[in-house]
Amino acid sequence: MSRRLFGWFAPRRGEKVLSMVEEHLELTKRAVSDLYNMVENAAQGRTEDAKAFYDSLSQMEMKADALRRDMVEELSRSEMFPEERQDLMELVRAVDWVADWSREAGRILSVIPFSRAPRDLKIDAQNMCRADNDCVSILSRCVNTLMKNSKEALNLANEVEVLEEEIDELYRVARNHIATLEFEGFTTGSLILLNMFFDALETIADWCENTADIVRAIAVRIK
């Protein structure tokens, strides 16, 4: 019974939370965009500009985190079926991990001598950040479409999955470069952090896919 009623009641009871999720995704998109700009500036040795983008990224993540707390509070007092509340709670948490890992990538990048990295690896980072940008943008459209057109939301969730697989391939290329290129001026600790930086870029895409999976589960119930 609750699954059948979900489509009738969620637009009213879950509309505010979904609107907040959309706002959260906008903040996350800005954070990932700041991360890309940070990478470009760090690659050129423009330390102050890179720091400015990291500061902006951090602000976006902190605003997103505050919004997540508001969303959890809204969910806790809303009148929903437990199944509905659980779906939206998982969606909120998954979106927040996208923002968290964007800041983590920036945090790591801020302490490694990225301007000394080989050119190929700098390109790898730019390519992954660009693809992360695309992934978050499609995810945002996916969530925005959820209550309007569940079929389209499913299609967009599939696009997120395809992009995540492409980012996995970019990650494979980057790891190969880490293993085979020369890194003059890098300590062992810096190399470890560099690898963690690329892990973080890949994890951003992983959480985009995880979020899309939750959207897919909701869309199947309400279509």
Q: Would you write out the chain's pLDDT as a tens digit for each of its 223 residues?
A: 234 334 434 445 567 777 888 899 899 999 999 999 999 999 999 999 999 999 999 999 999 999 999 888 888 877 677 777 788 888 889 999 999 999 999 999 999 999 999 999 999 999 999 999 999 999 999 998 987 898 999 999 999 999 999 999 999 999 999 999 999 989 999 999 999 999 999 999 999 999 999 999 888 877 6
| pLDDT score for 4 | 36
| pLDDT score for 222 | 72
| pLDDT score for 9 | 41
Distance, in Å, from the CA atom of 17 to the CA atom of 89, rounded to the nearest integer, reads 9
| pLDDT score for 106 | 97
| pLDDT score for 14 | 65
| pLDDT score for 126 | 96
Q: How many CA atoms lie within 13 A of 13 on its CB side?
A: 19
**Residue closest to 139 by CA, chosen among 89, 219, 209, 84:** 209
**Residue closest to 135 by CA, chosen among 153, 152, 159, 154:** 159
H-helix segments, the chain: 2-13, 15-43, 47-77, 82-109, 119-145, 150-180, 188-222
Distance, in Å, from the CA atom of 90 to the CA atom of 82, rounded to the nearest integer, reads 12
Distance, in Å, from the CA atom of 112 to the CA atom of 190, rounded to the nearest integer, reads 6
| pLDDT score for 3 | 41
| pLDDT score for 2 | 35
Domain locations in the chain? 2-222
Superfamily of chain region 2-222: Phosphate transport system protein phou homolog 2; domain 2 (1.20.58.220)
